[in-house]
Chains A and B, each alone.
Chain A
Amino acid sequence: MLMNSHKLFSRIASALLVVSGLLCASPLFAQGGFAVTIAVVDPATNKAIADAQVILIETRRKYFTDGAGEVRARVPAAGSYTLRVILSDGRIFQPRVNAQSGGQRLLVYAGDRPEESEDSSAIQVAGQRGEQKLSRHRVRLDEVKRIPGQFGEALRGIESLPGISAPPFGDGEISIRGANEGDNTYLVDDLPIGYPFHFLPTNSVLHNDLISTIDIYTGSYPANYGNATGGIIAITTIDEVDRFGGNASFSLWSANALFKAPIGPLPADAAALQLQNSAESQTAAETFENFENGDAAEKTSGSQPASGGYWIGAARGSYLDKTLASLAQDGVRLPVFWDAQFKLKYRFNPHHTVYAYALAASDTFGAEIEDTPEYDPTKAVDPVFVGARIALDRAFHTEALRYEWQPGSKFRLRLTGLYHENISFIDGELGSIELRQELTAGYASGIAELDWDIIRDHVLIRAGGEFRSFQYQNNGRTARLVDPADENPDLFATPPDFVTIPVRDSFRAQYNSGFGMLVLNGLGFEFKPGARVEYFQFTGQTVVDPRGTLSYTVPKKIFGGTATILGGAGVFHRLPDRNQFSPSSGNPDLKFERAEHYAGGFQFERNEWLIKVEAFRHYFTDLVVNDAYITAPFRENQDPFERYTTPILFNDPLSFSNDGTGFSEGYEIYLKKSKPAHRKGWFGWLSYTWSRSIRNDHQHIITDEERQLLRTANETRIALQYDNTRDIYADFDRTHILNLVFGYKINAEWQFGARWRYQTAAPYTRIVGDDGGQQFNRGRRIFDPEFSDLRNTERLKPFHRLDIRLDRFYNYEWGYANFYFEMLNVYLRKNEESIEFDSARPFSATNPETTLAFLLLEQRDEKKD
């Protein structure tokens, strides 16, 4: 007999175990050859290092240095060899040595020698080194790759930086200093990508190990960047490949691999390579070497060769539609996605270098909720979604060729030709809304940029221009409100509140831009005035954006460190989304969105410590908003059939306008402790942001009195001129955001990480009632929620969570394998995620209800007899 107890039992936190590893192989050598002595020396003290593990990669043999820091190793033949040196404190180095004869003594430095810190052959214009300090944060791959709670996705690491507002389980969209989500530009080596994250946003569209650094400009970004009113996320890829290698990793939902190889002579031993016999060449080609930027420093002795290059190829594919299919509801086909990247660099000589890039990604998703009877009404699908369906595909690809000419250390010219295209397809139905669109948009462009160091370390000019041929095609149909002034349209009303209209867009337009900026240095000051001009042929609009930053570094040391005062301001523009200026379904007269950024603060650096405090205020104007009232006096009917009877439409809705305004203000505190990538020890940062983000769409709110009084269209139009709106908090506004990130590399085998996040919840509009259940979907009654007039005035409880991660590395002669364990929400915080209204029930004390963040489960006891 069952007992009638339904008691709550313990809460459990979900922990996800994600495993990554490397697939490697290495051939064996036959015995023979000759013995050499390898001495491991500390570069700082020139003293021998004892008890260091030395692995000769090609022979897969391990040795330990003696008291004199030496080992005797046997090599099969003369040639170059790779060593993996693991010190007792966990540091790892992979130098290459050139063994030519028996008894030879080979010196290996465990780190950089002071005299080797400057690469004599690498020409670097000063402007490339002098990066903006204000409102810019740079993170290395090794700092963000293993932050807990982001499933190993490095690009997610920027969400822990100051000025970034991102929901705890977001789709990858971030709001930077109060700019709208999506108003940011992502660049990979200054090349565009269509979107940063897949539909399953635990994966970005870039392989982690392709990334070297990520620079995020949260405001006042320099004139060489454009088309963003928020910030710039500039991703730099790795630029050093000295041997063939690669790695692969896999998780429950996807797997990826990266391979790379040098082209031409290896940097370390171009001459020695010529001496290698064919067997050794095969060895080099077949040896899979792993690397991890920073974790295993790849240092070579000797200078760079005059010519040579490398290629890198990476790809990822998903399979969650197979492995996690059981978690999906019936009718939901989980996302399928892939991405691929290819980079090639070849330097003909120190003055001429070419690059080739190919970046691509694709995502598909589908869902259809069938109209099936449910015996238990509590398990029935929300009646709004019964019969709904959606198929969504999207993809992008970017191909580019780049040429760099550096005749000396004072001048650099960079020419880039690229083609970038975004493709999307949507086919969906929800109530009376029917959508079906095939959209392709992209551009071919030619870019020229130059850096000219007129007076070294004092005056630098940067200038450039881009000629972009923009093309846009969109075919299908979309939905539009029958009554634009209907504030609460019903999906299932009869007659329908929405009408389906055709979309037929196809055009080409020039979208050209140019920029110029000066970098002036002297007496501790750094002044960077600049300007950017953009012209969009489709609307005929030209915008000019003056920008500049000024900093002053105190010449004397203060508390043993360097103090810098920072300030900057600028004007920034962004092209509206493509569908918004659609000639057939949008407003082709939309202007650029506009922002003004103002920021100031100071930073203090001492050894591995950085403190940065900044305050900002950003103004946003000409924001594109949904506009129910704006109409075109007349325009051509896009319907291929109706245009014969009604060729011209009068007072046709344009749906969007530039009426939106807003501002954001706040301050940020950033305290960071760095650590050289290859050393053991701890690193981490604290970032705190206080801010508020305000928006106003300036769309007249029709009052109850107006509903009764207004009778004619002209009366309504006059009334709508009166702006009775108020400023409201932006949907993504979060007053307090605090991130604590901690990483501790214990030794070569273990690393521990933790992250604690605190966020004020985003605002929402209170639901105050329902419509009385007036709508039906396939016989099911629907209660439509009614919202308060006080928009975005409510907030859920703050979100905070602690995540931890433990990494275990297994180092082998062929590379390493890495397994990690992550535990999310360690102290089982019941974080509220959203407000959910059940359309099957009327408004009551339990409807709407607060939903908790997923990954927190509650479990019942088993029933007992």
Chain B
Amino acid sequence: MNCATVIGKTYSEFKHPSLKGYDFKILQLVNAETGEPEGKPFFAIDPLGVALDEFVAFEESFQATWAFEDHGIPVDCAITAIIDSLDRGDEKK
């Protein structure tokens, strides 16, 4: 699991039947310690309905399919939580 910022979204009408009702968001990985963006943007499925610029946690690889009640969903990156605050020692982000 890791944290990221939502930087964009995609429109997709025609998709696998198991993905009905969900859409894909574009995420930018954020270093949890420094708050700096890292690496290239990537795509994740959004079962929670997050908004643009929101700070989220996501799950990669096969575990991402477990974010759904029906596990037969072919996704390898899923948003699993909206982060309200992140404490690290004395500082707050």
* A and B pair up: no
